[in-house]
Amino acid sequence: MDHEDRIFSVTMIDKEDELVEGMTRHSWPLCYSFHLGGLLYLNDAQTEDDPVYAVVTIDKTEGHHGVIGREVGRIRPRGMDEAAVRKFVQDMAKGRYQSENPVHIEAEPAWHHSCEQCRLTEDE
C-alpha cells in the first residue's frame, strides 16, 4: 500500500453492484473506502481524479479501528468498463488474489470518521 498511514473512512455495502457503481461512477475523498464480503476496498490514490483501490483482507483487528491484514489486489477503475471492474471484484470475492502483502491500517466507520482528506475547510 502507498498510504498505509492514512486513516480510512469505510462504508459498509451489501451488494457487488453498489461497489462497482461506487468505483466507476463517482469521485470520493482520498480516505473514502468500502467494505464488502469481508474485504476492504481502500482508496490508496494520490489524487481524487485517479482513484486506486487496494483490496485488503481483515485477518485480525486491534483497538477500536486497527486492522491487520493482507493487501491482496489493486485496481485503478478510471477508464475501465463496469464489466472489467465487476470481474475484478468477483475474483477478489472468490479468493483469486493477485498478491499477499501484509498491512496494518486504521479503518473507521464512515459515521465516526473525520480527517484532513475529507474534512471541509471553513472560509476564513
Give counts: helices (H), strands (E), the chain.
Answer: 2, 7
Q: What is the pLDDT of residue 36?
A: 97
Listed range (4-8, 102-106, 120-124) with the worst mean pLDDT? 120-124
Mean pLDDT of 4-22: 92
pLDDT above 80 (res 115): no
Q: Report pTM.
A: 0.88
Q: How confident is the model at residue 123 (pLDDT cuts 50, 70, 90)?
A: very low
Return mean pLDDT, the chain: 89
Instruction: For residue 16, give the 3-state DSSP assignment.
Output: helix
By C-alpha distance, which of 95, 112, 105, 99 is closest to 37? 95
